[in-house]
Amino acid sequence: MKKIFFTFLISTSLIVFADNHDEPNYSKFQANYFFNCPNEPACGAAFDKLMKSSEVAKENFEASLLRVSHAGSSDITHSIQFYYKSAERYQRAGEVFSNSKAFAEFGQSMAAAGAQPVYNNLTSYLIAEGDGRKSTAGVTFVANVSNPAVYAPAFAKMAKKMFKEPFGGNSYVLRVEHLGNGSSTHSVSVSFDDAAAALEFLANYPNTPQFSEFVQEAGTSFESGLSYMTINLMDYNPD
């Protein structure tokens, strides 16, 4: 199991905002690891210990541990996400983790907690609107997009208008999947203050004119896939 988690974590346009404390500095690459953990406190403690270990903490890697809910028939219960501003930061993470005693202990602790990897992917943001740094909940919609040139502008138009709604959320991102399981090409995530706000969004967005316009403009350029809610459990070095 230790070897499985080692491979799981290591084997893995662009929107960048101003580099200051007032605007989010969105990452160039996101390494996302989805897994099943029957013991959330144990998995959380293992990840927290890893991120606070001396060899990892000094690198200031941006990362999150999320609870995944309502994912249909999928076995996913949690995800770990690492956010990299550059290819060099991604490379550095691989070097650090592959030589880290703390990472080896993390794999052992996850195995002891009964964690099982489901899948992982590598993504980049195509579109990022808003500021989700203080959000604690989100909803994600995975899609197989056959015509990004049609889909992406339609999404961008909808996202800008949806912000005007009282239930519109804090941020919208559209990701493209570079590497993964091959069943999807893109995903959309919307962030919220809390789970109640996410539910308010889900109850209202299908009835908005901007969503109707999106469906009409995007047309047959995409097929919907997995969808789920996320709750932020731990965040490290948010930027």
What pTM did the predictor assign? 0.87
Identify whether 239 is part of a domain. no
Please tell me the distance from the alpha carbon of residue 109 to that of residue 92, in angstroms, as a whole number.
Answer: 23
In terms of domains, do 223 and 128 share one?
yes
Is the same domain home to 115 and 134?
Answer: no
Q: What is the number of structural domains in the chain? A: 2
pLDDT tens for 45-77 read 999 999 999 999 999 999 999 999 999 989 999
Nearest-10 crossing angle of helices 87-98, 2-10: 160
| Whether residues 9 and 117 fall in one domain | yes
Least confident residue range of 24-28, 42-46, 159-163: 24-28
pLDDT tier, 105 (very low <50, low <70, confident <90, very high otherwise): very high
Q: Are residues 92 and 204 in the same domain?
A: no
Reply yes or no on whether the pLDDT at 41 is more than 60.
yes
Q: Do the domain assignments include residue 33? A: yes
Residue 118 sits in the same domain as residue 213: no
Helix and strand numbers, DSSP H then E, in the chain: 8, 8
How, if at all, do strands 78-84 and 186-192 pair? unpaired
Give the mean model confidence (pLDDT) for residues 187-198: 98
User: What's 142's domain CATH number?
Assistant: 3.30.70.100
Domain identity same for 176 and 210:
yes
Same-domain pairing of 17 and 101? yes
- Do 89 and 134 sit in the same domain of this protein? no
The boundaries of the domain holding residue 91 are 2-123
Q: Is the pLDDT of residue 21 over 70?
A: no
